[in-house]
Amino acid sequence: MSDGTSENDWAFTRDFTAEPGDIDELGHVNNARWVSWIQDIAVAHWHAVAPEEHRDKYIWVVSRHEIDYRGNIEAGEVAHGRTRVSGEPRGARFDREVQFVDGEGKVLVSALTRWAMLDRETMRPQRITAEIAAPFRVES
């Protein structure tokens, strides 16, 4: 990869194809669509690795997005999304890194997002335990 990381450095990957409705007046993917894809890959990661009892009991909400737009794609092109949890959980909060790269590995969009875990019934923040965090970790 041109940014110095390999696919093995990322916990979860998913491809996103730009559809005609994703394209803005500048002829490339609209910034709001990138934000949607950032959320989509994070949620897909949760559903892919969390045990059913955790998915049934907890839900995640975004409290912050910090996004750098470095490139773009046009309709029909693919952005290769990749994500991982960054650092250790702090209470109910997890930071997550997300990148979208093109076919040559050039970073198009990178984001650091902050997520909070809530109890699905009470909608109150819940501490992220080691058991909940473990499936998110990248295997070395």
SS3 (DSSP) at 128: coil
Residue 85 burial by Cβ neighbours in a 10 Å radius (0-12, 13-18, 19+): buried
Residue 1 within a domain: no
Q: Summarize pLDDT for 43-61 with one digit per residue, the tens.
A: 999 999 999 999 999 999 9
Residue 121 within a domain: yes
* Domain CATH number, residue 102: 3.10.129.10
Does residue 98 have a pLDDT over 50? yes
Could you list the residue range(s) of the whole structural domain that residue 92 is in?
7-136
Give the chain's domain count.
1
Show the tokens assigned to 115. 């997520």
Q: What confidence score (pLDDT) does residue 124 get? A: 98
Residue 83 within a domain: yes
Residue 60 contacts residue 50 (beta carbons within 8 Å): no
Average pLDDT value for the chain? 92
